[in-house]
Amino acid sequence: MLEKLKEATLEANLEIVRRGLVLYTFGNASGIERDSGLVVIKPSGVDYDELTPDQMVVTDMNGAIVEGSLRPSSDLKTHLALYEAFPSIGAVVHTHSEHATAWAQAGLEIPSFGTTHADYFHGPVPCTRELSDEEINGDYVLNTGKAIIEEFESLDPLAVPAVLVAGHAPFAWGRDPHEAAHNAVVLEAVAKMALMTMQLNPTAGVSQALLDRHYFRKHGANATYGQSENS
């Protein structure tokens, strides 16, 4: 069942390890097949060195296991909430990458300091509000998803394909597992650069025109970056 999605989801999980975004088992990636409404996600607490496609867990949108003998990631309900709220996305990646997590722990958004950021994120990467004690002591994982969704009430999740969860760590997403992992890697890079920029010049900034120029050269109907399919 969903063999191609299992392989793609496994590869996304392995990619975030290769790129240094994950220590031990601190992270997970998932993908969704929209036609069936089924989700493939990393099993909880399994070492990445031991992962195989057959170990990926398949669940429905209610979190019920459809296929697999292992427990799904403990972050499953957050992933499911994002799939429900953001129909344009096809995969979610969660890491505790060092620099993005530092911004999350500080409760700060990552500002749009330059064109590297703008190539992927059309605006600051937001940070959620802190969860209340009741939310933490209740359905914490689901409430984490709800806090992310609140932050995107006026944002396009594909224009800003990542978020920082206050006091916790980042989530990123994309149209498929490869893109979601790619965005998670870029998020860590821009988080590191933003921190260095703040240290060098806390009042740094660039024009919206320059940010727009770089974002739209890669995104939208008039994108010019890369090769056309017919070239």
Numbers of helices and strands, H then E, in the chain: 8, 7
Check if the beta carbon of residue 106 is closer than 8 Å to that of residue 165: no
- How many angstroms separate the CA atoms of 34 and 14, rounded? 23
Cα-Cα end-to-end distance for the chain? 36
Rounded to whole angstroms, the Cα distance separating 161 from 144 reads: 16
Count of positions (residues) in the chain: 231
d(CA 148, CA 172): 11
CA distance 181 to 173: 7
Active site residues: 119, 225
Mark residue 181 as left, alpha or beta (left: phi above 0; alpha: psi -120 to 50; beta: remaining). alpha
Distance CA 16, CA 119 (A): 20
Q: What residue has token string 């790129």? A: 19
Q: Which amino acid is at 143?
A: N
DSSP letter for 99, please.
H
Please tell me the distance from the alpha carbon of residue 137 to that of residue 132, in angstroms, as a whole number: 9
